[in-house]
Amino acid sequence: MLSGSARDAAPDPIFFLVDVDNTLFDNDRFAVELSAHLEKSFDVAERERYWSLHKKRWAEFGVSDYLGTMQQFRQGLQNDPALLQMSSFLLDFPFAKLLYPRALDVVKHVRTLGPASALSDGDMVFQPRKVQHSGLFDAFHGNVLIYEHKQHELNLMQQRFPARHYVMIDDKPNILADMKKVLGDQLTTVFVRQGQYAASASAEQRAAPDLKIDKIGELLEYTLDDFHLTSSARHDAVH
């Protein structure tokens, strides 16, 4: 978990939670750039071997673990000088260039509607690095939570950011559904139809969230009323 100073215990009327990968940051494009770099540094076979290892780690841990995959990938390449350069590619990558258009403006706008935090899945080295070096850590004023599986850590999230109502903005409708099962009417779900996971979701999954948008930038036009809050949540948020 990467976060700023602790908040007061009194619950906020409303709190916004925003996913990172394929919601604010174009992680699909990052994968394309990583693939190209692997092929250039090694060859097509080694590129495919990396992604095969990555897929296995995803199946085992449910997290996109670029660094853990690289640790496995090194086997057989220990004497290849290109291997040492991969750490620089991953950790010094210019993450800000892959933010979706107006992503930082969206964070700024959401924070005018209520307090907000990034809520992401990932490891505890690469993902925090991405959040910090993309500008998202500063945009959220240090309010960042990174869990291995965020939908299973909602108690921890609520301890960190107590609120009477939450809005979750994410590209994965299955995660939104899992969170809705736990929080019920205390949560408004916003499905951002960006990236591979949004595209591959079933019709039933795509229809389930409370709100759907095609691009994260659409939220710049949203007011509190557009989030279809319950009457009590709307009253609390504006008083």
Per-residue pLDDT, 2: 55
Per-residue pLDDT, 5: 46
Per-residue pLDDT, 12: 96
pLDDT < 50 positions in the chain? 4-5, 231
Domains of the chain, with CATH numbers?
15-26+101-238 (3.40.50.1000), 28-95 (1.10.286)
Per-residue pLDDT, 44: 98
**Torsion angle defined by CA atoms of residues 158, 162, 167 and 172, in that order, rounded to the nearest 10 degrees:** -10
Distance CA 79, CA 31 (A): 25
Distance CA 59, CA 52 (A): 11
Per-residue pLDDT, 180: 98
Per-residue pLDDT, 91: 96
Per-residue pLDDT, 62: 87
Does the CA dihedral 136-96-171-120 come out positive or negative?
negative
Per-residue pLDDT, 236: 61
pLDDT tens per residue across span 138-193 = 999 999 999 999 999 999 999 999 999 999 999 999 999 999 999 999 999 999 99
Phi-psi region of 78 (alpha: psi -120 to 50; beta: other; left: phi over 0): alpha
Distance CA 38, CA 45 (A): 10
| Among candidate residues 185, 147, 150, the one with its CA nearest the CA of residue 166 | 185
Per-residue pLDDT, 198: 96
DSSP-derived pairing of the beta strands 187-192 and 166-170? parallel
Does the CA dihedral 29-213-105-63 come out positive or negative?
negative
Amino acid at 186: Q
